[in-house]
């Protein structure tokens, strides 16, 4: 007859469910299955936390809701971690994240755009000439990377006042 294992956690352990829990000791978190330590990582090691909690869920040791409740994280973050584990495995948590491509406004393009704006071209004309989206130009102007000069007043234009 198999012997049943009682939920026996060391003092200071926080249970996730009846079988698995964790202990936070200074800057280290240790996961405990029954009474055996199964994994440990630094408190600020988010990648290891996401990896081990996903693995615990996928092994059937805990439910996503139990993990969410025990650690105070959102259910959607647990779901995203599980999805990443399913798609890429443990190495997926330690990959360098994807970053945006190169900026549209390289120094030469910025200089060309500023020259066209200084010559009095409108944003739409500059965007057409440089094949850049109008919104990209507006954002560059609003952030201060480009300066749109104030409209020059035409000094030859005389306005007359009409008195009735």
**Digit-coded pLDDT (tens) for 46-99:** 999 999 999 999 999 999 999 999 999 999 999 999 999 999 999 999 998 887
How many independent structural domains does the chain possess? 2
- Residue 83: inside a domain: yes
pLDDT confidence of 2, banded at 50, 70, 90? low
Q: pTM higher than 0.85, yes or no?
A: no
What tokens appear for 96 in the block? 């360098």
Are residues 85 and 116 located together in one domain of the fold?
Answer: no
The residue range of the domain holding 135 is 107-143
Q: Give the SS3 label for residue 41.
A: strand
Token pair 């952030």 is found at 143
- Residue 158: inside a domain: no
Between CA 157 and CA 160 the distance in angstroms is 10
pLDDT confidence of 107, banded at 50, 70, 90? confident
- Residue 162: inside a domain: no
- Residue 159: inside a domain: no
- Residue 52: inside a domain: yes
> What stretch of H or E contains 78?
helix 75-88
Are residues 111 and 59 located together in one domain of the fold?
Answer: no
Report the mean per-residue pLDDT for the chain. 87
Of 76-85, 129-138, 148-157, the one with minimum mean pLDDT is 148-157
Are residues 45 and 75 located together in one domain of the fold?
Answer: yes
- Residue 102: inside a domain: no
**Length reported for the chain:** 164
- Residue 154: inside a domain: no
* Strands 14-15 and 36-42, sheet pairing: unpaired
- Residue 149: inside a domain: no
Are residues 88 and 126 located together in one domain of the fold?
Answer: no
């Amino acid at each position: 007859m198999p012997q049943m294992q009682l939920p026996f956690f060391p003092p200071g352990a926080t249970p996730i469910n009846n079988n698995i829990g964790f202990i936070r000791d200074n800057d280290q978190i240790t996961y405990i299955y029954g009474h055996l330590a199964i994994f440990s990582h630094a408190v600020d090691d988010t990648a290891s936390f996401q990896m081990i909690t996903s693995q615990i869920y996928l092994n059937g040791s805990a439910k996503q809701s139990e993990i969410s409740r025990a650690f105070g994280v959102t259910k959607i973050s647990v779901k995203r971690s599980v999805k990443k584990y399913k798609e890429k495995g443990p190495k997926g948590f330690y990959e360098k994240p994807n970053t945006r491509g190169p900026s549209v406004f390289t120094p030469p393009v910025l200089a060309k755009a500023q020259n066209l704006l200084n010559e009095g071209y409108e944003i739409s004309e500059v965007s057409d000439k440089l094949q850049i989206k109008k919104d990209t130009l507006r954002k560059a102007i609003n952030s201060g990377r480009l300066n749109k000069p104030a409209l020059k007043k035409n000094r030859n234009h005389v306005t007359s006042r009409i008195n009735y």
